[in-house]
Amino acid sequence: MSELRWNPLLGEWLVTATHRQDRTFLPPDDFCPLCPTKDGGFPTEVPESDYDIAVFENRFPSLKSNPEAPMVSASELYPVRPAQGVCEVILYSPNHNSSLAQEPVEQILKLVQVWTDRFRELGALPFVKYVFIFENKGEAIGVTLHHPHGQIYAYPFIPPRIARELEQSASHQKTTGRCLVCDVVAAEVSDARRTVAENDSFVAVIPFFARWPYETHIYARRHLQAIDELTAAEQIQLAAMLKTLLVAFDKLFNTSFPYMMVIHQRPVDGERYDYYHFHIEFYPPLRTANKLKYLAGSETGAGMFINDSLPEIKAAELRAHVEPVVWRAETASGND
């Protein structure tokens, strides 16, 4: 069903997951498997008639905590491993037609706390080396269920893009004595042309080196490695920054803006990563209101991205849609 195969040309793992062909594909709204189970209705993934934020194991996982033995035998050239890991789904809201952008900031704060819990819990599993929290949003990204949700993959290895950022951060630390992301934050804040929004604890920018027209990164101002190091005040600031950015995204083209959202933080393999720096990256596939950026020959075959727009211009567009976050009275103490 599922196994990890080694790609010797790139020196990285990929997973086969043929059973995922049977996944539910864009079901009608009445048959959404992520909605609360209705009285007398068909049982969904969530047996409760209501929930706030719910987390459960993906029914079509590409990684499992007790994986079956690989279907093929390994060789020296082609190592093979069981696809061990965990795949979880996080439901942001019981409301089928909502989205993270439309949820109140108080709900986004709860999500930040759920991410923190899952990072700790999955990170403590002995076979897990990296906890990858992400969201694919919108049909443009290939999402098969519209209900607002994100995912977590707990990998038995450090995935290649993270490994690359770790290498670059370690080498920067070695040559300059400083953190790479701290330097990026300082450069972006002092330049200011590419900043989208700032608050006490976080900065959102379309970085100098963005690959996608509206690629936006949220950096922690404080040098820290993982989401579970955020203080209560910083959790509130992160929720506010996410709300600000997501609302600006939606306003940009007056649409429910599609994106991939990924959280980049330290591995959980027991090593120290003091030189790394927690951040969140968004890759929206839109170039204009109705044009997508495709990953074509140069991007896919050579790994070189062609960004046909300037981050300085795109950041100004997004910045025009930034507005203050409104908290309900009871959380007003956390307002900035």
Catalytic residue chosen out of the listed positions 146, 147, 149, 172: 149
Residues 79-98 within binding reach of Zn ion (CB under 5 A): 96
Residue selected from 110, 223, 319, 321 as contacting Zn ion according to rule CB under 5 A = 223
| Residue 179 lies near Zn ion (rule: CB under 5 A) | yes
Residues 3-32 within binding reach of Zn ion (CB under 5 A): 32
| Residue 264 lies near Zn ion (rule: CB under 5 A) | yes
Closest by Cα among 200, 204, 224, 214 to 253: 214
Residue 149 is a catalytic residue? yes
C-alpha neighbours within 13 Å on the C-beta side of residue 331: 20
Stretch that binds Zn ion, among 168-176, 216-224, 233-241, 265-273 (CB under 5 A): 216-224
Give the list of residues 6+ apart from residue 250 with CB closer than 8 angstroms, or none.
99, 101, 102, 256, 257
Number of residues that bind Zn ion (CB under 5 A): 11
Residue selected from 129, 147, 243, 293 as contacting Zn ion according to rule CB under 5 A = 147
Tokens of 264: 């980049």
Q: 116 near 46, Cβ under 8 Å?
A: no
Least distance in angstroms from the C-beta of 225 to Zn ion: 9
| Residue 222 lies near Zn ion (rule: CB under 5 A) | no
> Which residue type occupies 288?
T
Closest by Cα among 211, 207, 217, 200 to 280: 217
Residue selected from 2, 3, 13, 34 as contacting Zn ion according to rule CB under 5 A = 34
Pairing of strands 286-288, 291-292: antiparallel
Least distance in angstroms from the C-beta of 288 to Zn ion: 26
What is the number of helices (H) and of strands (E) in the chain?
Answer: 5, 14
| Residue 266 lies near Zn ion (rule: CB under 5 A) | no
Residue selected from 131, 182, 210, 247 as contacting Zn ion according to rule CB under 5 A = 182
Strand, helix or coil for residue 89: strand
Strand, helix or coil for residue 279: strand
> Any idea which residues carry the catalytic annotation?
149
Q: Which residues are at the interface with Zn ion (CB under 5 A)?
A: 32, 34-35, 96, 147, 179, 181-182, 223, 264, 277
